[in-house]
Structure 1
Amino acid sequence: MGRPTDVTVRMSVPAPTGWNTWDVRTHTGMAHLPSGLRVRFGLLDAAANPVIDGFTWRHGLVRLGHHTVDGSFAEVTVEVDGVELRLVLAGGPGDELYVRAQSAGTVVADVAAGWDADPQPWPDATPWEWRLDRSGDDFLVAPAGSSATAADAAVVVETRRAAAEATRPRSGGWFRDAADALTRAVTWNTIHAPDLGPVLTPTSRDFVCVERQGFYRSWALHAWDTFFTGLVAGVVDRDYARGILGQILPFADAAGMVPNRVSDERGRTDDRSQPPVGALTVLNVYLAGGLTDATRDRRLLEETFPALLAWHDWWPAHRTGPHGLLAWGSDPVDGDPESATLDRTKRESGLDDSPMYDEATYDAATHTMDLADAGLNALHVADGEALAAIASRLGADQTAARLRAETAAARESAAKQFWSAEHGGYRNLRADGSHDPHVSPTLLYPLLAGFPDAATARAVAEAMLHPEVLGGDRPLPSVSRDDPGFAATYWRGRIWAPMAYLAVQGLRRYGLTEHSRAVSAALLELFLAEWETHSHVRENYPAHSGEDLTGFRQRSDGLMAWGGLLAHLAFGELAEARADGWRFAHPGRAAQLANLPLGEGRLGVRASDRLVVTLDDAVLLDAAPGVVVSGYERTGDAVRVSLSGSGDVSVGAPGGELIAVTVDGGTRRVRIDREGTIA
């Protein structure tokens, strides 16, 4: 297997300098880069023993507060023997670290003078060239020559708090504090990888760290986990999202395969990949980063496109299975006896123990399952569409034309072969030509790829979202509730945000708003219930009420970034960036988003008695609740927008004035120039 040190990783975001919660082993301290100095805090327990290690969701971690990307502000609460410790950490790119440590118990701390050094109790240890100071609840760590004091901590902490509050993404109304949950599930998972040098953001620090009951020594990246983490991070910061989306691509092999996983001690999975969602997520983050291509993050496309294109082309070259369709696979690798097996093939799907693959076998001739997968083929078509859109924006017109032609042919072939008249929907296709009866949300992915006509799409959605199949109060379990293999455990029935995200985007492609809104609303309630009760953003969510996922054996990590996709989906019912422009719609209940990061400034969207969209507090749109705004694009010269529904709307012209427009059924396309002239 390839080792992680065989590749050069791009510069990470944030840059690996200054103070941040870099140390994967703890939430209760900060580490300084590049020096490696680490400071951690804890309490004396009831027996007067210091407790500094081991604060996890299962052992004393109570709540994670706001955390800026640059580490200039972070809050965390832990408890020891029923006594809480609240830490406010003010670090960031500079060399001074200020900490407020408040507790009714006795606060203790330790320091380590190198990344691998053993920690020593404070104040007994005084690392060379560093000064440690304490004044009551306030602590200071600074270079020996710094004039700062611990007494400055109170002022610094509150200044940093105000700055963090002014820029953090916010939500309200129907969304409650979902934006806070989404943000913290990303920023708290950014860590340092000592053997590589840069900063990485795995989907969960608990999952990748053996000292936190995880599965790797100190870091690991997984393919589709990384892309979905980057998608979520787009709500927080554009540069941060770009850094995450690009961090696994350098680990692709010579053929272009992006590996299922790469980690410090276990290397790269040279036998298998994971679902091709890279171009979809990159394009989404790009579109959401501005109101026009002129203000979006072109660098994101330039840095990721070559590797994403190579990965797209890898699939038909290496994963063509039954009937000339794509199938999940695993290649034989010398020295890896578990490669080229059915188990590894299932893992390429990302759905490790899904009942969909219970009857499948491994075909050694093709290195794939003997089951062509509708979800994989649909994702590959959608990937091709997204890559074509990216290629066009980069001026690679011949590549865009090639991708469009190949995608159209693949769509036509797959749509015919995966359609089962007997089942009235799409089904996976066995090598003997029969359609597999298992049903999962992956069978809604054909809508994401544009397989059916509008009437068929609606019929498929209504059948799939029946309460006994994939619908109900807890929609989109990972396999149908009436499947013999449904067990409400892991991929055999839990609700997974990546699956839900892809399925709902399929519903939205066909304008099935009543379905997408109902599903998004139900999933948001699951998301918020876990957040408000446990401060968790889950790896997966229970398909039945009353199931407690906090136990280790339940296999649902407590703060996993991709769980934030459930909030992201709900936000899309109010505001969503699409290839043809932004869509804004009143979701039927009061809801608010603020401080969304765009190239032009900070976007805000509020739905109450009116639908109001602002940019840095300047009104862009003020519409009656019955008006749906789509195709919105704003340049310095004109605003282009499509209006449907009924009601009045005021559109902000580039010159600043509000122009009144009315719509009464149908669709009205409007262009307003700098002088306020409507065309």
Structure 2
Amino acid sequence: MITGWNTWDVTTHTGMVHLPSGLRVRFGVPGAPLDGFTWRDGLVRLGHHTVGGDYAEVTVEAGDGLLHLVMAGGSTDELYVRAEGTAGVLVALDGRDDTDAGAQWIDWRIDWRETGGGPVRTGEESRPADGLVLEFAARVELRVAPHGTPGGAAGVDALLARRRAEAERTAPRSAGWLGDAADAATRAVTWNRIYAPDLGRVLTPTSRDFVSERRRGFYGTWALHAWDTFFTGLVASTVDRDHARDIFGQILPFADAAGMIPNRVSDDKGVTADRSQPPVGALTVRKAYLAGGLSDETRDRELLAGTFPALLAWHDWWPRARRGPYGLLAWGSDPIDGDPGSATLDRTKRESGLDDSPMYDEVSYDPDTHTMNLADVGLVALHIADAEALAAIAGTLGADDVARRLRDQAAKARASADPLLWDADRGGYRNLHADGTHDPHVSPTLLYPLLAGMPDAARAADLAARLLRPQTLGGDPPLPSVARDDPGYAATYWRGRIWAPMAFLAIEGLRRYDLTEASRPLVAALLRLFLSEWDKHSHVRENYPATSGEDVRAFQARSDGLMAWGGLLAYLAYGELADAREDGWRFAHPGEPAELANLPLGDGRLAVTAGDRLTVTLDGRPLLDAAPGVVVTAYRRTAGEVTGIARGSGDLHVSPPGDGAPVRVPVSAEPTPFRITRNETDQHDNDGGMPA
């Protein structure tokens, strides 16, 4: 059972709800709507918010009045709040819409103290069924607790200070080149955690405002989308491993009998039975798993075991249901009785997740295959990458026969798709029409074959150079959803805006080929864009402007202001310092002073600092100390040994398992493997090194 106080109510940022009772406490500015503060209207700054609601801080405005709230809830039954308002403070206590909390007032004690150290006053023991409204001049400290609980409002400030210190101690933290990226990405996850009463469970949709009709959203009170959920889970993995595991599992129970995970499910609009969304589940789950520890000994095996069956069934559904031109995969929509919108071109576009992309302007729907008549490079590549990620998961779980089947499937798919999708005249991959012609439209999806390992190294480098020209997908800001020199480019929605999921997939492909000279400028430019929106507006956006100076805050701009997947731009920047890959961790200096701390691993909390040197620590204990020119890859640390590969210029010291002294490891321009065991530091001095 879910218990305690948190910002469970999707309709408001400025209040907390107690579960299971349903008691709700909301705050506002006198004369303004209590729940009128959204990222479009009045939300000034989101502060710390722990996953469990132990601490939350937010500032809003209405008219000429600013309201600053500091709230401390969590799994206990006691709530502590300090509310400060330049135009007064309004406090409303009632029950959630789905509960009858009015009957429970007699069970609760409400204490408050006004500015100036006035006496603590306790509310009456009975309340009207429609709740209680209180108004204060400027500042109030408030405590809500079960009747008979000792204490009062006098200790609110001290408790809030302790809770804030704890929140700051454990929250992911960034500085320097990374700016406040960690704060932004964290808050986009934690502030979007809500309670869905019809399901009786907690959800983390991509955005409160996007899913709530009362906040000018598109659904009743909640909605989940497939690839949104997986990307949100990946961002959440940098905040809290348990929370991330919960998010990854939210959409999986809604898969149909054939294994299809739906595009969307919501309380008022139900399930999209005709279509799915891009297959990024295994890729994001595997990435989160790898980043959850320094070796398989400390990673979250439960995450893999809990998601693998559904992800495998979804993977196997695609080739059964979405064979398009030349037997390649294509986006589709199945005919559904009673759903006149199904089996249409519009729905096939929506399955792609790129609803109005110019790539699909000239295609049509094929009723025989239930797909568009265009084989899609992005889908083909994502399905191959999905097979590889699932094979790795299967291997970890000991399902070796399944792993072999998936690896073989990926190899055959690469071999058959590559010659069909490669356009020799244009020197790149292109979507393929049923008549055998290659589609001219260009988007970052044409970089996804790198994610799938389709080209050889030389072709990959050439492809990146061609597509990342400033007039195409390069420039600043980079990776618009349609190339700037494409006739369909319009710098709107999926016709040119910059989308974090698309950027993530493209850059992960570049990183697979170690095309650092191509990927690093993209990551830096996207980080600047991400930080600009956060610093100015407290926004983590659904999509970002592709043209300098554009303001995308208006409702008509179709860019939600607090969407968790926007945090992928921060995630990419983290990877310049610390990136968990299939062969182990990569640690590198980003070329500018930077700090990334408190990443939650099964081993402890990881921190990376880039300054005069690059240092990596775990719970404050040193793991690596390197000159800025050193790059460490394939790093793994178990209870018995540390292994990795060093290259670059300068010196490197690696700490062994246990309490041994750091070992100096040889570094050169050529990759040099090293292996250090727990006992070997007793036999070698710090200048020895232990190359494998």
TM range (shorter): over 0.9
**In 1, are the aligned partners of 2:32 and 2:62 still within 8 Å (CA)?**
no
Aligned-residue offset at 1:591: 1.1
CA pair 196-653 structure 1, distance change in 2 beyond 3 A: same
In the alignment, is residue 675 of structure 1 matched against residue 658 of structure 2?
no
In the alignment, is residue 38 of structure 1 matched against residue 24 of structure 2?
yes
Instruction: Tell me which amino acid in the other structure corresponds to 1:158.
Output: A
Structure 2 match to 1:12: none
Structure 1 match to 2:444: 441
Q: 277, 280, 295: which is aligned to 1:277?
A: 280
Q: Distance in 1 between matches of 2:609 and 2:35?
A: 43
Aligned-residue offset at 1:213: 0.6
SS of the residue 2:506 aligns to: helix
Structure 2 match to 1:384: 387
Deviations 1:580-623 (CA, angstroms, capped at 9, x unpaired): 00000111111110000000110000111111000011100001
Deviations 1:96-151 (CA, angstroms, capped at 9, x unpaired): 0000001222211112234436999xxxx982311212111201111112113111
SS of the residue 1:376 aligns to: helix
SS of the residue 1:380 aligns to: helix
SS of the residue 1:332 aligns to: coil
Q: Distance in 2 between matches of 1:157 and 1:676?
A: 48
Alignment of 1:313-462 (within 5 A): 313-462=316-465
SS of the residue 1:257 aligns to: coil
**In 1, are the aligned partners of 2:17 and 2:96 still within 8 Å (CA)?**
no
Q: 24, 32, 36: which is aligned to 1:54?
A: 36
Aligned-residue offset at 1:51: 3.6
CA pair 212-496 structure 1, distance change in 2 beyond 3 A: same
SS of the residue 1:293 aligns to: coil
Deviations 1:324-378 (CA, angstroms, capped at 9, x unpaired): 0000000000000000000000000000000000001000000000000000000
Structure 2 match to 1:78: 60
Alignment of 1:208-223 (within 5 A): 208-223=211-226
Q: 308, 313, 317: which is aligned to 2:311?
A: 308
Structure 2 match to 1:599: 602
Instruction: Tell me which amino acid in the other structure corresponds to 2:582.
Output: A
**In 1, are the aligned partners of 2:64 and 2:87 still within 8 Å (CA)?**
no
Instruction: Tell me which amino acid in the other structure corresponds to 1:336.
Output: D
TM-score, normalisation: structure 2: 0.94
Structure 1 match to 2:51: 69
Aligned-residue offset at 1:156: 1.2
Alignment of 1:294-305 (within 5 A): 294-305=297-308
In the alignment, is residue 156 of structure 1 matched against residue 154 of structure 2?
no
Structure 2 match to 1:133: 111
**In 2, are the aligned partners of 1:655 and 1:676 still within 8 Å (CA)?**
no
Q: Distance in 1 between matches of 2:180 and 2:100?
A: 39
Aligned-residue offset at 1:676: 2.9
* Matched positions, count: 657
Q: Distance in 1 between matches of 2:46 and 2:215?
A: 16
Alignment of 1:181-260 (within 5 A): 181-260=184-263
Deviations 1:61-101 (CA, angstroms, capped at 9, x unpaired): 11110100000000010112121110000000000000000
CA pair 64-119 structure 1, distance change in 2 beyond 3 A: farther
Q: Distance in 1 between matches of 2:27 and 2:320?
A: 52
CA pair 329-165 structure 1, distance change in 2 beyond 3 A: same
Deviations 1:476-519 (CA, angstroms, capped at 9, x unpaired): 00001111111110000000000000000000000100111000
CA pair 276-494 structure 1, distance change in 2 beyond 3 A: same
TM-score, normalisation: structure 1: 0.96
**In 1, are the aligned partners of 2:22 and 2:101 still within 8 Å (CA)?**
no
Q: Distance in 2 between matches of 1:337 and 1:344?
A: 11
Structure 1 match to 2:182: 179
**In 1, are the aligned partners of 2:598 and 2:605 still within 8 Å (CA)?**
yes
Q: 535, 539, 546: which is aligned to 1:536?
A: 539
Q: Percentage identity across aligned positions?
A: 68
Structure 1 match to 2:136: none
Aligned-residue offset at 1:645: 1.1
Instruction: Tell me which amino acid in the other structure corresponds to 1:89.
Output: M
SS of the residue 1:643 aligns to: strand
In the alignment, is residue 101 of structure 1 matched against residue 83 of structure 2?
yes
Instruction: Tell me which amino acid in the other structure corresponds to 1:591.
Output: A
Alignment of 1:448-527 (within 5 A): 448-527=451-530
Q: Distance in 2 between matches of 1:80 and 1:583?
A: 47
Instruction: Tell me which amino acid in the other structure corresponds to 1:135.
Output: R
Q: Distance in 2 between matches of 1:655 and 1:261?
A: 48
SS of the residue 1:576 aligns to: strand
Q: Distance in 1 between matches of 2:482 and 2:96?
A: 48
Structure 2 match to 1:550: 553
**In 1, are the aligned partners of 2:112 and 2:143 still within 8 Å (CA)?**
yes
In the alignment, is residue 22 of structure 1 matched against residue 8 of structure 2?
yes
Aligned-residue offset at 1:387: 0.2
Q: Distance in 1 between matches of 2:20 and 2:295?
A: 38
SS of the residue 1:385 aligns to: helix
Structure 2 match to 1:5: none
Aligned-residue offset at 1:53: 2.2
Structure 1 match to 2:686: none
**In 2, are the aligned partners of 1:646 and 1:662 still within 8 Å (CA)?**
no
**In 1, are the aligned partners of 2:481 and 2:495 still within 8 Å (CA)?**
yes
In the alignment, is residue 110 of structure 1 matched against residue 102 of structure 2?
no
Q: 77, 87, 91: which is aligned to 2:69?
A: 87
SS of the residue 1:508 aligns to: helix
**In 2, are the aligned partners of 1:647 and 1:662 still within 8 Å (CA)?**
no
**In 2, are the aligned partners of 1:113 and 1:127 still within 8 Å (CA)?**
no
Q: Distance in 2 between matches of 1:472 and 1:545?
A: 11
SS of the residue 2:615 aligns to: strand
Q: Distance in 2 between matches of 1:128 and 1:483?
A: 66
Q: Distance in 2 between matches of 1:37 and 1:129?
A: 11
Q: Distance in 1 between matches of 2:504 and 2:431?
A: 20
**In 2, are the aligned partners of 1:614 and 1:620 still within 8 Å (CA)?**
yes
SS of the residue 1:654 aligns to: coil
Q: Which ranges in structure 2 are unaligned for 5 or more consecutive residues?
A: 115-139, 682-689
Q: Distance in 2 between matches of 1:454 and 1:568?
A: 25
Q: Distance in 2 between matches of 1:117 and 1:385?
A: 47
SS of the residue 2:596 aligns to: strand
**In 2, are the aligned partners of 1:575 and 1:585 still within 8 Å (CA)?**
yes
Q: Distance in 2 between matches of 1:148 and 1:18?
A: 18
Q: 663, 667, 670: which is aligned to 1:666?
A: 670
**In 2, are the aligned partners of 1:277 and 1:379 still within 8 Å (CA)?**
yes
Instruction: Tell me which amino acid in the other structure corresponds to 2:219.
Output: Y
**In 2, are the aligned partners of 1:236 and 1:597 still within 8 Å (CA)?**
yes
**In 2, are the aligned partners of 1:646 and 1:664 still within 8 Å (CA)?**
yes
SS of the residue 2:664 aligns to: strand
